Structure 1
């Protein structure tokens, strides 16, 4: 009887496991500054050409010079498990130790800087385009953190245009993305079933619009001119600070203090939801590590306690307020939660960050985990946002989702 019950439970749970979307694992407190990139030095969402090298860098602040190992897994377009076995998507071996690291130099905070580059002698390359996850393990085979990345092939041309929404109720607050996809190298078979588009605003996968079907076709050209289906809240320009000179007050740093480490106290930010839009150039949530007096910021940039502060008003006092950006992979957890300080009538949070230039944003989160970016920052159609577009294609009878096209757009020259 018990055996039959166990079999029934396994039969019920197995499909749920196979079709569950994989989520990234956030690092523990001692792992900081995870940079994942290709040929550029920008610490942005890693969407790379299949022929480009992949570089992952991170710091371990425990001073133990630990050994870390990596594994790579392939996923379907919706981040569910793929049926491909490792030999079909990976040339060589994973589960290898990260061999390249350096210790910090001339910093108050001791850390080791690790660097993994693919291809390498053990992992000679990745064979197919699509969705991947990189898992980092410690010496006890326990998962430390994981990060998504995407590889694309240049098989289709992707035209991206950003316009104001056509819905009069949100015309002042939303932006919509129009796409045209065509290819001289592929014949799209049944594109409503085989082609899917994904649009990502400001490198934030968590707010991406997925599973977008072509609205109509013109020969071998796929046209996406939706309104609500491809519309994003405009948001506002990000707040920023710069502390490349740790011994002096920089942009938006009010004053500094040296204790066990440097502390930078930023000017108190205020809600902009009910203020007019003001253009203020940003880097769309990204960050850049930099140190004014260093030749190698990877190991010479120090860690600083950044003191964030947001002025409280009546609309915020019963909300959970978080601060996030690319610096923490747009994560919402206890490490980003602000606390209310009645003596200052402000929400405050201290976060340990490496020196550099950072964009950040305050967001409100309800009891169900729903994120409202506009409650504090406001939403404006004029906001300069970046958009990344991925085109997934699984031909009839195929076993995996290729990314056949990729392009970027911006709302700098947004039109009606």
Structure 2
């Protein structure tokens, strides 16, 4: 009997491990646009302090006031759902209908705008730090799309400094993150095993650096002074266009076409910048601002336009794709944002439906598996580029049940040193 029980328990454990699924983000369908986390009335990289409030917003271009529900899943460092009961990490309930939605007003493109606040009357509090997946469901409780977000505790500091690459061959092209992890509250247990990190640039998780161990310790301080393991390709400043007044051609918009049901904004052709010198100009590190100059409520009065991108990259010879990305589409590597080569014109082209305002974007090179090739990027890599870097510190005690995020560090490469 005991042997049968042990065998059954072992089988169940193996089954659970085998069925534990990494929670990758589900891309939104065509009708879902402008998906974003908002905090303090600004689009935000989804890293929030535990206990703070934020909103999750999106538009449904069908504009039929469809019912959408939300589910919140707590995950470990590797984005596998934890075994922690929901009532331990969530006070209240999820699987509730999003009740705050409004139809567009005075726009050619109809849409319904949804705004989910966390906390709200049903979900009063998220109690634990760590990784989370927010799933948006339809009436049949099928996942329409999902997005990751992270909650951190402010009990560890991460002094962070951006330096030029340590190896001479890449000193002109890469940024190196030099940092430490310190805490006056926690005495770290076995930091080589229990401390994990996530490093990312401009809120783009496609180029995230993970699984970096402390190089050495000084007392309770963990020191990371690697030469190559914590390096990012510096990239170039983001490109942008501005169509706050959607009828006017300005700021990199060559002309506006009024002949179709909604506006068409045709951008000037961008030239590949990899083989040019670095030129400094202001960007907002991939972010975007929804804005209609002639409106009072931008969330529902800003219109959509077909934005026509074109890129001249005659020396591009890689057997890979070129994508248009930024925070406006979560740096998506989907076919909807894949550029197509026009042999007659000798340029890459793509039309994308984007909500009006001020939009940063960049051209990303990646293969069909979604592996980004920043070394051979269209616009080059320059150490002078201004980027925003974020480090999250995960900690799981020897007897811990989940990966806490105990601290967050940020730095800007404007303050780069040699």
TM-score interval, smaller chain? over 0.9
**CA deviation after TM superposition for structure 1 residue 342, in Å:** 2.1
2:63 corresponds to:
63
1:390 corresponds to:
392
- Measured against aligned partners, the alpha-carbon deviations of 1:167-217 in whole angstroms (never above 9, x if no partner) come to 111111111101122111111111111111211111011211112221111
Mapped pair 1:286 → 2:287: yes
2:102 corresponds to:
102
**CA deviation after TM superposition for structure 1 residue 318, in Å:** 5.0
Mapped pair 1:27 → 2:28: yes
**CA deviation after TM superposition for structure 1 residue 322, in Å:** 1.4
> For residues 319 and 395 of structure 2, what CA distance do their matches in structure 1 show?
45
1:116-155 matched pairs, under 5 angstroms: 116-155=116-155
After superposition, the Cα gap between the structure-2 partners of 1:10 and 1:273, relative to the gap in structure 1 and judged at 3 Å, is: farther
> For residues 314 and 408 of structure 1, what CA distance do their matches in structure 2 show?
36
> For residues 51 and 319 of structure 2, what CA distance do their matches in structure 1 show?
49
After superposition, the Cα gap between the structure-2 partners of 1:256 and 1:388, relative to the gap in structure 1 and judged at 3 Å, is: same
**CA deviation after TM superposition for structure 1 residue 316, in Å:** 4.0
> For residues 99 and 335 of structure 1, what CA distance do their matches in structure 2 show?
29
After superposition, the Cα gap between the structure-2 partners of 1:318 and 1:401, relative to the gap in structure 1 and judged at 3 Å, is: closer
- Measured against aligned partners, the alpha-carbon deviations of 1:30-69 in whole angstroms (never above 9, x if no partner) come to 111011133x233232100111112101111102110100
Does structure 1 conserve the Cα–Cα contact (< 8 Å) formed by 2:207 and 2:372?
A: no
Does structure 1 conserve the Cα–Cα contact (< 8 Å) formed by 2:197 and 2:210?
A: yes
1:403 corresponds to:
405
- Measured against aligned partners, the alpha-carbon deviations of 1:66-88 in whole angstroms (never above 9, x if no partner) come to 01000000000121221211111
Q: Which runs of 5+ in 1 are unaligned?
A: 1-8
2:347 corresponds to:
346
**CA deviation after TM superposition for structure 1 residue 340, in Å:** 1.2
> For residues 335 and 10 of structure 1, what CA distance do their matches in structure 2 show?
41
- What secondary structure is seen at the aligned counterpart in 1 of 2:124? strand
TM-score where L is the length of structure 2: 0.94
1:10-409 matched pairs, under 5 angstroms: 14-18=16-20, 20-38=21-39, 40-258=40-258, 259-316=260-317, 319-373=320-374, 374-409=376-411
Q: How many aligned positions are there?
A: 407
- Measured against aligned partners, the alpha-carbon deviations of 1:293-322 in whole angstroms (never above 9, x if no partner) come to 111100000000000000140424854221
- What secondary structure is seen at the aligned counterpart in 2 of 1:405? strand
After superposition, the Cα gap between the structure-2 partners of 1:11 and 1:129, relative to the gap in structure 1 and judged at 3 Å, is: closer
The Cα RMSD (Å) is: 1.7
- What secondary structure is seen at the aligned counterpart in 2 of 1:74? strand
> For residues 302 and 284 of structure 2, what CA distance do their matches in structure 1 show?
20
- Measured against aligned partners, the alpha-carbon deviations of 1:333-360 in whole angstroms (never above 9, x if no partner) come to 1101111112221111000000011111
- Measured against aligned partners, the alpha-carbon deviations of 1:110-164 in whole angstroms (never above 9, x if no partner) come to 1111111011111111111000010001112121110100001111111110001
1:1-16 matched pairs, under 5 angstroms: 14-16=16-18
